[in-house]
A and B are shown apart, each in its own frame.
Chain A
């Protein structure tokens, strides 16, 4: 028994799912990169330290 060739519609659905997946993965990487930059920048302070400084 041979498999049927993939319907064009399924290719389109796969492309759509792949697009959404890659977009979400890119978003995660972006948020991670942004967090690293913010945390390692010189003016970053943890909230407790900031509150202690203000008191």
Chain B
């Protein structure tokens, strides 16, 4: 074997870098997981040692990232078709599907065990259940089976604050479930708005999004209904143990804006949307990101002010 043949057999121009493996963990989704889990952990009525708190958030984030890698492994065929996901490491040919699966499984096991050791077994069990729910229930089953995929699958993304709370307290109460409900109810309008202006993507991939199965008019109605229910829940949360005047002010303003956005989407027809390239739908989607960030930010602010005699009612 000559040097040239060794070169040819071992060098791959598209070989993955460390960043490609990191991209498998869906860093953007991870940042949402980190933030909501951190709020769950800090809003809990107990003090956690900073090192333990840091470990808890890190392992929750790694668990979330692991489920992202398993999702990319399973959905590689869909990602290859959709414009939004074509550049991901597997469809781009940088990482083999098997590598993504191995990484996902290894990090899942590691994160669950380490979270249980760092905090408590209940937190570890909840993280394991979240990974199972996202990978098996959502990715493998619901995503390709029902237009309600986003609704039920949204539960997986809503678990982090609950895990953060349990990691801190070792017990369960109603407050973390209010944070769960907030994210759970927020997910459908957020993704349906995206589906409205990315319709062709889901069509091509054969994913039964509501826009594909029930049409765009029905999707607009669904967005409005979910936004109304979300507004009731979000404002109602202000009067719970994690709420307070700051949260109430944020919730009233943000939900008024969100409702206005949903009403705008509901009133519009396809012709209006096509004319301005889905301006209202795009701005509703952007607003939804700010919406969740500000609600959880307000919960965090209330919690951080409590030791100073402020925050809460």
A residues apposed to B, CB below 8 Å: 7, 9, 12-13, 15-16, 18-20, 30, 33-34, 37, 41
Q: Which one, A16, A18, A37, A41, contacts B16 given CB within 8 A? A: A16
Q: How far is the CB of B252 from chain A (nearest CB, A)?
A: 41
Chain B 150-175 interface 0/1 with A at a Cβ cutoff of 8 Å (1 = within):
00000000000000000000000000
Across the interface, do A41 and B49 meet the contact criterion of CB distance under 8 Å? yes
Q: Please name 4 further chain A to chain B contacts, defined as beta carbons within 8 Å, in addition to the given A15-B18, A30-B58, A37-B49, sorted by A numbering.
A: A7-B11, A13-B15, A19-B22, A37-B51
The 25 listed contacts between A and B (C-beta, < 8 Å) are A7-B11, A9-B12, A9-B13, A9-B15, A12-B15, A12-B17, A15-B17, A15-B18, A16-B16, A16-B21, A19-B18, A19-B21, A19-B22, A20-B18, A30-B55, A30-B58, A33-B51, A34-B51, A34-B52, A34-B55, A34-B117, A37-B49, A37-B51, A37-B52, A41-B49
The number of inter-chain residue pairs (CB within 8 angstroms) is 31
Interface size on B, residues (CB 8 A): 16
Distance A16 CA – B75 CA, assembled complex (angstroms): 25
B residues apposed to A, CB below 8 Å: 11-13, 15-18, 21-22, 49, 51-52, 55, 58, 117-118
* SS class, residues of chain A in contact with chain B: helix
Determine the chain A residues whose CB is within 8 A of the CB of B52 once the complex forms: 34, 37
Distance A33 CA – B114 CA, assembled complex (angstroms): 13
Q: Which 10 pairs from chain A and chain B are nearest by CB?
A: A19-B18, A16-B18, A37-B51, A12-B17, A33-B51, A37-B49, A34-B55, A15-B18, A9-B11, A34-B118
**B50 to A, closest residue via Cβ:** A37
Distance A7 CA – B7 CA, assembled complex (angstroms): 11
